[in-house]
Structure 1
Amino acid sequence: MVEPKYITSKDNPRIKEMKKLQSKKYRRKLDQFLIEGAHLVEEAMTHGQKIHALVFLDGYDHARYDDQEIETFIVNDNVMKTLSSLETPPGIMAVVSYAAPETDGRRVLLLDGIQDPGNLGTLLRTADAFGFGRVILSLDTVDAFSDKVLRSAQGSTFHIDITSMDAAEAVQDFDGTVLATDLEDAVPLEEAPAGDPLMVILGNEGRGVSDTVLAQVDRKIKIEMPGASESLNVAIAGGIIMHHFKA
Structure 2
Amino acid sequence: MVKEVISSKDNTRIKNYRKLHTAKGRKKSEQFLIEGVHLVEEAVNYNQPVDVIIIEDGFNHELNIDKFKVLYVSRDVMKTLSTLDTPPGIAAVVNQQKPGKVDYNRVLLLEDIQDPGNLGTLIRTADAFGFKTVLVTPKSADPYNPKVLRGAQGSHFHLNILQREAAEAAEAFKGIKIGTSLNDAVYIDDFNKPDGDIMLVLGNEGQGLSDETLGMMDINAKINMPGSSESLNVAIAGAIMMHHFKS
State the TM-score, normalized to the length of structure 2: 0.94
The 10-residue stretch of structure 1 (99-108 or 118-127) with the greater mean CA deviation from structure 2: 99-108
User: Does 1:87 pair with 2:85?
Assistant: yes
Tell me by how many angstroms 1:67 deviates.
Answer: 1.6
1:53-132 equivalences in 2 (<5 Å): 53-61=52-60, 64-70=63-69, 72-99=70-97, 102=101, 104-132=103-131
State the Cα deviation string for residues 120-149 of structure 1 (Å, max 9, x = none).
111111100000111000111101111101
Cα distance change, pair 105–48 in 1 and its aligned pair in 2 (3 A): farther
Partner of 1:179: 178
Structure 1 residues 105 and 3 mapped into 2: Cα distance closer, same or farther (>3 Å)? Answer: farther
Structure 1 position 20 matched with structure 2 position 10: no
Aligned-residue sequence identity (percent) comes to 51
Name structure 2 gaps, 5 residues minimum.
Answer: none
Aligned AA (1:194):
P
Deviation at 1:26, TM superposition (A): 1.1
CA distance in 1, matches of 2:90, 2:158: 21
Deviations 1:26-76 (A, max 9, x none): 101111000000110010111121100111001013574452142x21111
Q: 1:64 to 1:232 in 2, by over 3 A?
A: closer
Q: Provide the aligned C-alpha RMSD in A.
A: 1.7
- Indicate how the Cα distance of structure 1 residues 3 and 229 shifts in structure 2: closer, same or farther if over 3 A, else same: farther
Distance (Å, rounded) in 2 between the aligned partners of 1:51 and 1:5:
20
> How far apart in 1 are the matches of 2:65 and 2:144?
26
Relative to 1, partners in 2 of residues 1:64 and 1:221: Cα closer, same or farther, differing over 3 Å?
closer
SS at match of 1:109: strand
Distance 1:61 1:148 in 2: 25
List alignment gaps of at least 5 residues for structure 1: none
Go from structure 1 to structure 2 and tell me whether the alpha carbon gap of 1:4 and 1:109 turns closer, same or farther (over 3 Å shift).
Answer: farther
